[in-house]
Each structure stands twice: as structure tokens, then as C-alpha cells.
Amino acid sequence: MLNPDSWTLMQGLLVFAGCALVIALAGTRITGVVDQLADRTGIGEAAAGAVLLGFSTSIGGSVLSVTAAWNGNADLAVSNALGGIAVQTFFLAVADMVYRRANLEHAAASVPNMIQNALLIMLLALIMMTPLLPEFTLWHVHIASPLLFVFYVYGIHLAQNAHNKPMWTPTQTRETREDQPDDTSRMPSTWRLWVEFTLLFVVLGLAGWTLEPAATVIAAKTGLTQTVVGVMLTAISTSIPELVTSIAAVRRGALTLAVGGIIGGNAFDTLFMAASDIAYRDGSIYHTMTQSAQLWVSLTLLMSAVLMMGLLRRERVGPGRIGVESVVLILLYISGAALLLSAL
């Protein structure tokens, strides 16, 4: 059982399901911890969602992609990273269904969230453009990888500045939920919150590391391509925390945290590509992208642009009491999944 090469399909499925369950449970708990840290430290829900929640809930997928790239499974590494962004954007539409008072994009109006979404669009565009550039690497790493890190850090810096010193603010309505800190006197100490956050972070990372060989076994035993396994299995399973945490945050009334966690996690997920490129020893991982993977980059870029329109337009109530943009996001994701599966 310890050697993945000897696993049967059933053993691979059991390990996969076990890791997915651990990710869901740990991801649920870490939402409350991050919400309390946002209030304790004063960094705000948008920044906490982008950096702490986005980083922690994405660590499982990050470890999986890096491990896959190190083992030479470039398709799995790329499809897991890009598939996770699409499914997490889809989860934001699901969270919009849970919040019945108004459209989530309207109620969670936040300049830092819009900046983070613009950052995501920029990073996705760079990933989409890189396979068209010369395959020049230094120590097997393409120049696009350090650029992704630089742009990400700069974008987070801009988002934090927008929180601390906003140059303009969204119009407040009775449906808008502002980021109001809770009573910190009833919260655990900051030190205890950081310890719990670190432990949950490690658990999520270990689950992602164990998930990679299980996914490889499933792909080998079923005959599915690594792209399909990455987009439809590992990306969804490692994104379970984003679904659970966004719904949990909505129910807690932390709407800015819910949206910021998804968008921030998506921006962080683009760094999976950079980290995977560093781990991949056979050249530029960007130039191994299949047509299916490139289609998924285009889809995630389109979904991110639609989400940006929703954040700017701020429709109060749409069809079925969810935003028109949420309906479009659902249709785009389902269409992309159908196209991917129809190519089997």
C-alpha cells in the first residue's frame, strides 16, 4: 500500500477519497481561523481572503502540481493548476446561490477584490501568451515563472494599499455588507490562532502531496488522460476548501472574505504554474501545454473577465435571485467540462 506503483484502482480511489475528505474538513475549519485573524491583526477580510485563506486552501493543489511536475507528469501539473481556477470561479456562483438577500457581487463590493481579480486576469494572460514565446530557459526555468511571482507580489501590494488608503469606494446600499471587525475579546489569542492556522496549513499540504500518486494511478488504470484527471478530479477535490469556505463565510456574514478567498485563491493558483515549471526538469512546462489545457486557460480568462463585470456592475437581483454573471459563469464551466469530456 505504501508503494503507489503497486496500487490497484480501488486503492487509488480510496486514497483519493480520503485525501479529499481531509482537505474538506481542514479547509472548513481554517475559514473561521482566518476570519478571526483578519479581525485580530486588522488586515481586513479582503486581504486575509487573498493571502491567508487563498494561500492556505490552495496549498493542497500547489503541492500536487509541484509533485506531479517533479515526477515528469506535466499534463497533470498544468491541468490541476488551471482547472482549479475555473472550478473555484464556478464555486463563487454557487456561493451566490446560498446568499439569498442580494447578488454576492453587489453585497461584497470591495476595491481590493476588484484589484485582485484584475491581477488574476493579468497573470492568466501571461500564462496564455508564454507558449507562443521562444522556449528559452535558464536552469530549466522559463522567464515567465519569476515574472508571475513578481506580478503577484505587486498586485497583492496594490490590493493592500487599496484597503488601507482607498482612492475611491463602492456606493453603499442597504444590501452592501461592509467589512466590520467582530469583538476580539471573545476570540482566542493571536498566537493560538496562528498555531492552529499553521497546523491546518500543514495538513492541507500533506493531503495534496498524497493526492498526486492517487491521481496518477487513477489516470493509468482508467485510461483517462492526465488533463481530464487534473481538470475534473484533482482540481475539483483540491478546490473543495474554496467551496466549503466560501459558503461558510457567506453564512458567517463575512461576504468580503468569501469573495476575496476565491479570487485570492485563484490568483495564487497561477503560481502553481511557476512552481511547477521550477520543479519540471525537462524544460519549460508552459510549452508542454496541450490544446485542451490551452482551451482551459482561455475559459478561465473568460470567466474571470465575466466576474470582473459583475463586480463592477453590481446588479442587486438577477434571475433566480443570483447575478446574471453567476448564470454565465455556471454555463461557461459546464460547457468547458462538456467540451473536455467530449474529446475522450
What is the mean pLDDT of each successive set of 10 residues along the chain, which is 344 residues long? 74 88 81 75 62 72 88 89 88 79 68 87 95 88 94 87 73 60 68 88 85 83 83 81 75 73 83 92 91 89 90 71 82 90 74
Rounded to two decimals, what is the model's pTM?
Answer: 0.80
- Greatest distance between any 2 Cα atoms in the chain: 59
pLDDT at 43: 66
CATH label of the domain that carries residue 70: 1.20.1420.30
**Is position 182 within any domain?**
no
For residue 266, give the amino acid letter. N
pLDDT at 302: 95
Burial class (CB in 10 A: 0-12, 13-18, 19+), 338: exposed
Per the CB < 8 A criterion, the answer to whether 89 and 120 are in contact is no
**Is position 174 within any domain?**
no
The residue with cell 530549466 is: 140
Domains contained in the chain, number: 1
C-alpha cell of residue 283: 524544460
Cα–Cα distance measured from residue 344 to residue 339, given in angstroms and rounded to the nearest whole number: 9
**Is position 268 within any domain?**
yes
- Smallest CA-to-CA distance from 137 within 271, 270, 286 is with 286
**Is position 177 within any domain?**
no
**Is position 170 within any domain?**
no
**Is position 59 within any domain?**
yes
Domain that holds residue 242: 7-164+187-342
**Is position 297 within any domain?**
yes
**Is position 157 within any domain?**
yes
